[in-house]
Amino acid sequence: MVCAGIEIVTNMSIGGLLSYPNTCDFYFYAKLMAAFFIILSFILFKRDEAKLAKGDMISSMGVSAIAVIFISLIGTLLNIIPREVFIEIMIAGMIFIVLWIIKKQ
C-alpha cells in the first residue's frame, strides 16, 4: 500500500501533522496504543514481581488500561485520534478494568 505524500495535509499545525498517519492506516494510533498498553503492562508486572514474590498481571493490565484510555482521550480531544478508534480503545480498556475490579473482590 502506498500512502499519499505529506503535501495532502492542509492543516500544517501540530495536530494536523500528527493526524497524518491516519490517512494511510485508520488504526495507526490504535496499534500504537496497543503497543503502549502491552509495554506498560509488562513493566508494571515486572515491578510487582520484584516487590512481591508473585506479580499480578490482571491488576497491571487494569492500571495500564486506565493510562491508555486517558492518553487516547487527550488524542481524541486534540483531533489526532478518530472517535471510532477511541471508542474501540475505551471498550477494550474497560474490559480489563472490569476484570481487575472483579478479581479484587
Distance CA 84, CA 23 (A): 14
Average pLDDT, the chain: 84
| Cα 86 to Cα 88: distance, rounded to the nearest angstrom | 5
How many other CB atoms sit within 10 Å of the CB of residue 52? 9
Number of Cβ atoms within 10 Å of the Cβ of 97: 17
pLDDT at 29: 84
Q: What pLDDT, on a 0 to 100 scale, did the predictor assign at position 78?
A: 85
Q: Could you tell me the residue range of the domain that residue 71 belongs to?
A: 26-104
What's the pTM? 0.81
Q: Which of 31, 51, 33, 52 is nearest to 41 (CA)?
A: 33
Within-domain flag for 20: no
Q: What is the pLDDT of residue 15?
A: 64
Q: How many domains does the chain have?
A: 1
Residue 89 lies in a domain: yes
Q: Is residue 36 part of a domain?
A: yes
18 is a domain residue: no
Confidence of residue 62 (pLDDT cuts 50, 70, 90): very high
Grid coordinates representing 101 are 475490579
At 10-52, the pLDDT tens digits run 666 666 666 666 667 778 888 889 999 999 999 999 998 888 8
Which stretch of 6-10, 26-30, 49-53, 89-93 has the lowest confidence by average pLDDT? 6-10
Q: Name the strand (E) or helix (H) holding 77.
A: helix 57-77
pLDDT bracket for residue 4 (50, 70, 90): low
Identify whether the C-beta of residue 81 lies closer than 8 Å to the C-beta of residue 72: yes
